[in-house]
Structure 1
Amino acid sequence: MTDLKVLYVEDEALLGRIVKESLESRGLSIDWFVDRKAASKALDALDRYDIAVLDVQLPGDDGFAIGRHIREQRQDLPILYLTARVAAKDALEGFAAGGNDYVRKPFSMEELLVRMQNLVDMNRSKSQKNGLAPAKPREAKAASGSEEVYRFSSFLFDYRSLKLLRYVGDEVAEEFLLTHREAELLRFFLRSRGQAVIERKRILLDLWQDDGFFNSRTLDVYVRKLRSMLMKDTAVKILTLRGVGYRFVVEKGKD
């Protein structure tokens, strides 16, 4: 993970210096700013960056406001939020503000690097596949047994491009661009369909390698986001089995 250019906004001087020096020691190039005003020139030249890492709680405009500005200027730049907040509504606000992922403070440098690497890799993968025409559901039926493309009910999900398409007849009615985590979770559900119970613990350990409280709350956020995308097709349901896990249902004759 070298030769990456990172836009980093963090007002805590000690933490900012530690992160900057640690990432630079691994070969990354870091432009560190303490607030939006200091970063103003960088925010007008976003093409130079591979990823933006933004603290949420900043003086003046917070990280979410900076994220919204970035998303208005450049749709493809991955945004990773750093936050001490734990409420689900704060995570949802971050996603609504253009975020692709977030890391809770305090964090390890290893976790930060892994999250950054995942976002950059997925962004590069999407860029390489831009311009490919989406397959219609009936054309994708034979491919749904692969590990990358899935057809279920009125949906076509391409894990590689992070796209979820909903069809009405042969026409695309809606197109969703998923985050890396959303795509991983949807693929997990699709691979587990037909099971009576998909345990929360198994999802957390498989996707996060940690079933702690914070990741459990994060899972709730992602499940809600997937439900909001799938809700227009009543044949597809993510059922919550309280205290146990989930069941992913695609009604017979709709798969």
Structure 2
Amino acid sequence: MPRVLIVEDEPLVVDVLETALRREGFANVVSAQRGRQAIARSAREPFDVAILDISLADISGFEVAVALRKQNPDIAILFLTARKSLADKLMGFGVGGDDYVTKPFNPLEVVARVRALLRRGNALARPANRTYDFGRFQVHADQGRLVVEGRDVPVPAREFKLLAFLASHRDTVFSATDIYKAVWGEEPISSADQNTVSVHIYRLRNRIEREPSHPEYLVGIHGLGYKLVRPISLAAEANQPPRSRAHHQRSAAR
């Protein structure tokens, strides 16, 4: 059951949020009126989602977000605040926020956004200690190794994190925004951040593709994003029964 932390110094707002969340099935909801109290509570027990006000009595919600993210890199952070300026919104995303809702608010919308953050967190989570085999190359996620046609290929840490993320979600399309958040751990603020993803994709293609300009494995879907796939020919061969594969290989050798 997901655990939700509400950091808010207005009792009425806390009551509205707790009521809405519990009515929608969130049984584990905890609140803190002060930022330091929230940080201390999070240090004792993990939370899946934090709903943060910015204007708290002791420290700002921005400081709380930074501390919570350090304690738990996977926590989803939703800012719920009366501060509506673009500068505040950019600051919220810049310190690790995943969503930003301004007051006054509809509690059902907040619950819906919490659910969306949890779904996205589940989608982006990467299983550990796995090897992903794409035929031409293997991604050893737990060892940080890329092996292409039997040879170890050095890969910088960030590029490997991107490769392992896509490998663990084979055939799933991710936008540049989702990739940036999963691999760099923060919200992209500018087009330059999204271009960073494109540059890393380009470099990875040069490492794993036979013809990087015509990728078979790390493919782009126009207007949607990128995904890592096994070429259709390899997938079809893997699905053949052993006798059929042997016959196919003998025929090809003639």
TM-score (norm 1): 0.55
Question: Who wins on radius of gyration, i.e. which is larger?
Answer: 2
Local SS of the residue matching 1:122 = helix
> 1:98: Cα distance to partner?
2.1
1:186 is aligned, of 176, 194, 212, to 176
Q: Which amino acid aligns with 2:49?
A: I
**Structure 1 stretch 90-99 or stretch 25-34: which is displaced more?**
90-99
Local SS of the residue matching 1:39 = helix
> 1:54: Cα distance to partner?
1.0
| Conservation of the 8 A alpha-carbon contact between 1:84 and 1:106 | yes
Q: How does 1:161-240 map to 2 (within 5 A)?
A: 170-173=153-156, 174=158, 175=161, 185-186=175-176, 221=189, 223=191, 225-230=193-198
Provide structure 2 residue ranges, at least 5 long, that are not aligned to the other structure. 139-151, 167-172, 179-186, 204-211, 216-254
> 1:103: Cα distance to partner?
2.0
Local SS of the residue matching 1:44 = helix
- Name the residue aligned to 2:102: 104
Local SS of the residue matching 1:102 = strand
Give identity over the alignment, percent: 25
- Name the residue aligned to 1:76: 74
- Name the residue aligned to 1:253: 213
| Conservation of the 8 A alpha-carbon contact between 1:56 and 1:64 | yes
Q: How does 1:5-24 map to 2 (within 5 A)?
A: 5-24=3-22
Q: Which amino acid aligns with 2:7?
A: V
| Conservation of the 8 A alpha-carbon contact between 2:79 and 2:101 | yes
Q: Which amino acid aligns with 1:77?
A: I
Q: Separation in 2 of the partners of 1:227 and 1:83? A: 31
Q: Which amino acid aligns with 1:64?
A: F
Local SS of the residue matching 1:7 = strand
- Name the residue aligned to 1:32: 31
Residues 226 and 27 of structure 1, relative CA distance in 2, 3 Å threshold: same
Instruction: Give aligned pairs, total.
Output: 180
Q: Separation in 2 of the partners of 1:118 and 1:34? A: 25
Normalized per residue, which structure has more helix? 2
Residues 112 and 41 of structure 1, relative CA distance in 2, 3 Å threshold: same
Residues 153-173 of structure 1 show CA distances to partners (whole Å, capped at 9, x for unaligned) of: xxxxxxxxxxxxxxxx95433
- Name the residue aligned to 1:44: 43
Q: Which amino acid aligns with 2:213?
A: G
- Name the residue aligned to 2:61: 63
Residues 111 and 133 of structure 1, relative CA distance in 2, 3 Å threshold: farther
Q: Which amino acid aligns with 1:74?
A: N
> 1:21: Cα distance to partner?
1.5
Q: Separation in 1 of the partners of 2:126 and 2:61? A: 29
Residues 232 and 91 of structure 1, relative CA distance in 2, 3 Å threshold: farther
Q: Which amino acid aligns with 1:186?
A: A
Residues 33-91 of structure 1 show CA distances to partners (whole Å, capped at 9, x for unaligned) of: 111244354122232x2211111221221111111111111111221211333444333
| Conservation of the 8 A alpha-carbon contact between 1:88 and 1:221 | no
RMSD between aligned residues: 4.1
Normalized per residue, which structure has more strand? 1
| Conservation of the 8 A alpha-carbon contact between 1:56 and 1:83 | yes
> 1:113: Cα distance to partner?
1.5
Residues 129 and 7 of structure 1, relative CA distance in 2, 3 Å threshold: same
| Conservation of the 8 A alpha-carbon contact between 1:84 and 1:105 | yes
Local SS of the residue matching 1:103 = strand
**Structure 1 stretch 96-105 or stretch 3-12: which is displaced more?**
96-105
